[in-house]
Structure 1
Amino acid sequence: MEKSKVYFCDLYSNSQNKNVPNNVRRLFDEAGFKDLIEKNDQVAIKLHFGEKGNTTYMSPVAVRQVVDKVKDCEGKPFLTDTNTLYTGSRTNSVDHLTTAIENGFAYAVVNAPVIIADGLYSRNYENVKIDKKHFESVKIGGEIYNSSAMIVMSHFKGHEAAGFGGALKNLAMGCASAAGKQMQHSDVTPVVKEKKCVGCGKCVNSCPTKAISIVDKKAVIDSDVCYGCGECPTVCPTRAVTIQWESDSDVFVEKMAEYAYGAVSNKKDKVGYITFVMNVTPLCDCVPWSGRPIAHDIGILASTDPVAIEQACYDLICKEMGHDVFKHEHPHVNGTRIIDYACEMGMGSKEYELIKL
C-alpha cells in the first residue's frame, strides 16, 4: 500500500520566502488542495478561534492565507467552529462570534465571514449515520455537514482528557454539536482529591450544570448532575480534580475518532488538513489562558490524510523532545488510540512519507 504524503515546512527561516504566511500558501499548493475545490464550492475552513484569554490559538494571518488560496480556486470560504459544552466565551453563537472577532478573526483581517456551524444554541445539527462500535449516528454541526469542501486547520497541543489534540480532535469535538460533545464525554467522571483541595471554588464557577459545591471547605461533585464535560480539572490550581474513567480511557478517544469519521463521511476527496506544531501547550485552546509550551516549535504540516498528519505531528514532537511529552503531562490517557482507531475505521494510514519543502 502506498504511503500517504505529508508535506512539512520547518521554522528555520532566513528569508521572506520562508515566513509562515508563505509556507502556508506553499503547503496548500504542494498538498494539492486546489484539486479538492470546485468553482462556487462553499468551503468550510474549520478552526478553533480560541477562548477569551487564550493567546496561543492559530494566527488569523495564517488563516487568511488559506482563505485567499480558496478564493484563487474560485471557492467561497467561510471560517467555522461549533459552540462549546462548558461555560466560557463560546457557549452560544453571539458570544462565540464576539470572541472570534476580539481574537483577531474579523473580516478585515481574514477576508472571509465567520459562521458558527451549529446555530445560536447548538441546535442546528445533522444526525449522520455511521454504524460504528460506540455510535450508530453522530450529531455534526449543520453548516459543516452542508459545506461542499473543508480545510481543517489545527493547532497541535496537549489535552487533559485526550492526551493531545490535532486534526482528529478538531473534527471530533470541533464539528460536533453540544449534544454530540456530551455523547463523547459520557465516560468522563471527575473526582476530587480532598487532601489537595483548598476550597477555592474555581471549579464551582466553571461548572455548566452546577454539579459542584463547597462543603466543609472542600469541593464536592454531584455525579447525578455532572455530565462529564471535563472543564473542572483544567481550572483546578492544585490539580485536586482529576478524571476517574467510568470505562477505559480508550473508549473516550475511540468515541472521538467515530465523531471525526462522521464529520467527513459526506466529503470524500474534499477535505484537506493543515496542522501547526507551534506553541505546543499542555492544554487545549479552550482554556482561558495559555500554559508554558511543553515542546519546541517545529513547523507546519499539510496532507489530505487526517491519520497520517496526526501521526506525523506526534512523531516529530516525540523525536524532537526525546520522549512522549503528552504521556508525561497526561499519564492517565492513551492518546495515540485515536490514531490507531481512526486507521482501523479506514480514515487514513499511519504509514506516511514526510516531504520537506
Structure 2
Amino acid sequence: MEKSKVYFTNLLATPNMNLLQKLEKLVKKAGIEEIDFKGKFTAIKIHFGEPGNLAFLRPNYSKVIADVIKNMGGKVFLTDCNTLYVGRRKDALEHLDAAYENGYNPFTTGCQIIIGDGLKGTDEAYVPVPGGECVKEAKIGRAVMDADIIISLTHFKGHELTGFGGALKNIGMGCGSRAGKMEMHSDGKPRVTSETCVGCGACVKMCAHSAIRLENKKAKIDHSKCVGCGRCIGACHFNAISPAWDESNDVLNKKIAEYTLAVLHDRPHFHISLVIDVSPYCDCHAENDVPIIPDIGMFASFDPVALDVACADMANQAPMMPNSYLAEKFKKQKNNSDHFATIHPETNWMVCIDHAEKLGIGRKAYELIEI
C-alpha cells in the first residue's frame, strides 16, 4: 500500500523567507492548490484559544491559509464550535469575544469568523457515520456541515484524555456541537483521590454541570451529572483527579475518529499542523505550561491520520524541556519512547489513530517530505 505524503518545514527563517512565507510554500508544495476552491464555502477549523492561554496559534498563520484560498476563489471562514465547560467559549457571543481578544478578527485573518454550532451550541446537523462502532449519527455544528471544503489548522499539543491533540481531535471533537461533545465524553468519568485532594474548590468552580461539590473538605463527583469533559483534571493543581482506569479514554478516542469521519466524508479536505509551544494540556485551558519539547516545525498533508502520526513521531524524537511537566513526570514514569504516555499514562493515543485508519480516513504509514 502506498504511503501517505506528509510535508514538513522547520522553523529556521531568513531575511528572504519568514515563517509565514514558509507556511505558504509548505501548503502549496503539499498540494492545497489541487483543490477546486472557486465559489466554494471553505471552513478553516481552528482553536481560537481560551483567554489566559498563550500557547494557541497566532492569527497570522490563519491569514496565510485564508489568503491562499481566497486567491483561488474560495469563500473562506474560520470556525470552531462551543465548549462544554465553564469558560469564555461556551456560547457564540462569548466565543467571538474570546477570539477577538486573542487577535482573531476579520482584519487580522482576512476572513470572517463563524461559530459552527450557533448561539447556544444547539445548531447542529445529524450526520451518518459509515461503519461507526460507537456512534451511528454524529452531531456536528451546522456551519461546519454547510461548508463545501474542510481545512484543519491545528496547534499540536498534549491532552489529558487523548494523549495529544492533533488534526483528528481538532476536527472530531472540535466540530461536535455541545450535544456531540457530550456524546463523545459520556464514557469518561473522572475520579477523585481523596488522600491527595486539599479541598481548594478549583474543580467545583470549573464544572459547568454542577457535578462536583466539596464534602468534608474533599471534592466529590456526581457521575449522574458528570459528562466526562475532563476539565476538572486540568483544573486540579494537586493531581487529585484522574480519569477512571477503564476503557473510557479508548472509547473517547474511537468516538473522536468517528466524528472526524462524519465531518470529512465525501468532501475535499486538507490538513496543517504546527508543532510549536507544545504544552501538556489543551488550549481549552485558561493557562498554558512550559512547552514539553522544543518547537519542531510545520506539517501539511491530505491525510490527517498520517499527519498526526508524523507529528507524534517527531515530537517523541525531540528532547524534553527542563523544568517542564514532562521532565517532572519522567522522574516517575520514565517512558522513553512516548512523551505523551509519560505525561498522561492513562491515555493511549494510538487507539484514535488505529480506529481512524480502520474507518478509512487515512493511513498510518507516511513518507515525510522536507522542504
TM range (shorter): over 0.9
Q: Any residues of structure 2 matched to 1:176-195 within 5 Å, and which?
A: 176-195=176-195
Provide Cα deviations, 1:179-221, integer angstroms capped at 9, x if missing partner: 0011111111111111111111010011111111111111111
1:202 is matched with 202
Counterpart in the other structure of 2:79: 80
Q: Which runs of 5+ in 1 are unaligned?
A: none
Instruction: Output aligned runs, 1:89-238, within 5 Å.
Output: 89-130=88-129, 131-238=131-238
Matched, 1:355 2:369: yes
Where does residue 273 of structure 1 map in the other structure? 271
SS in 2 for 1:55: coil
Q: Secondary structure at the match of 1:354?
A: strand
CA distance in 2, matches of 1:228, 1:259: 17
- Aligned match for 1:291, one of 289, 292, 298: 289
Is the CA contact 2:139–2:179 (under 8 Å) kept in the aligned structure 1?
yes
Q: What is the rounded CA distance, in whole Å, between the counterparts of 1:310 and 1:247 in structure 2?
A: 22
Structure 1 residues 18-97: aligned runs within 5 Å: 19-97=18-96
Pick which of 308-317 and 6-15 moved more: 6-15
Q: In the alignment, residue 234 of structure 2 is paired with which amino acid?
A: T
Paired residue total:
354
Distance 2:33 2:44 in 1: 14
Residue 312 of structure 1: SS of its match in structure 2? helix
Mapped partners of 2:119, 2:102: distance in 1: 20
The residue that corresponds to 1:264 in the other structure is 264
Whole-Å separation in 1 of the counterparts to 2:309 and 2:114: 30
CA distance in 2, matches of 1:245, 1:99: 34
C-alpha separation in 1, matches of 2:229 and 2:235: 12
Shift of 1:245: 4.5
Provide the rounded CA distance (Å) in 2 between the counterparts of 1:221 and 1:263: 33
Offset from partner CA, 1:82-108 (integer Å, 9 cap, x none): 000111000000000010001000111
Alpha-carbon distance between aligned partners in 2 of 1:190 and 1:179, rounded to the nearest angstrom:
19
Aligned residues of 1:189 and 1:246 also touching (Cα < 8 A) = no
Return structure 1 stretches of 4+ with deviation > 4 angstroms.
none
Aligned-pair distance for 1:320? 2.1
TM-superposed deviation, 1:246: 5.1
How far apart are residue 16 of structure 1 and its match?
3.3
Q: Match for residue 325 of structure 2? A: none
TM-score calculated relative to the size of structure 1: 0.97
In structure 2, the gaps of 5 or more residues are: 320-335
Counterpart contact for 1:145–1:266, Cα < 8 Å? no
Q: Quick one: distance in 2 between partners of 1:37 and 1:15?
A: 33
State how far apart, in whole Å, the 1-side matches of 2:266 and 2:48 are: 24
**Larger deviation, residues 108-117 vs 8-17:** 8-17
Output the aligned Cα RMSD. 1.1
Cα contact 1:187–1:246 (8 A) shared by 2: no
Do the aligned partners of 2:188 and 2:248 also contact (CA within 8 Å) in 1? no
SS of 1:188 mapped into structure 2: coil
Deviation at 1:12, TM superposition (A): 2.3
In structure 1, the residue matched to 2:329 is none
> Counterpart of 2:317?
319
The amino acid of 2:277's aligned partner reads N
Q: Distance in 2 between matches of 1:157 and 1:8?
A: 17
Q: 2:354 aligns with which of 340, 343, 356?
A: 340
Where do 1:240-255 residues align within 5 Å?
240-245=240-245, 247-255=247-255
| Distance in 2 (alpha carbons) for counterparts of 1:246 and 1:121 | 32
Contact in 1 for aligned 2:245/2:346 (Cα 8 Å): no
Asked if structure 1 preserves the Cα contact closer than 8 Å seen for 2:37 and 2:69, the reply is no
**Displacement of 1:252:** 1.6
SS where residue 175 of structure 1 aligns? coil
Percent identical residues:
41
CA contact (8 A) 2:270 2:302 kept: yes
**Greater mean deviation of Cα atoms: 89-98 or 120-129:** 120-129
Aligned residue number for residue 12 of structure 1: 12
Measured at CA, do residues 318 and 258 of structure 1 come closer, stay the same or move farther in structure 2, by a change above 3 Å?
Answer: same
SS in 2 for 1:133: coil
Comparing 271-280 with 36-45, greater Cα deviation is found at 36-45
Equivalent pair of 2:128/2:262 in contact (CA under 8 Å) = yes
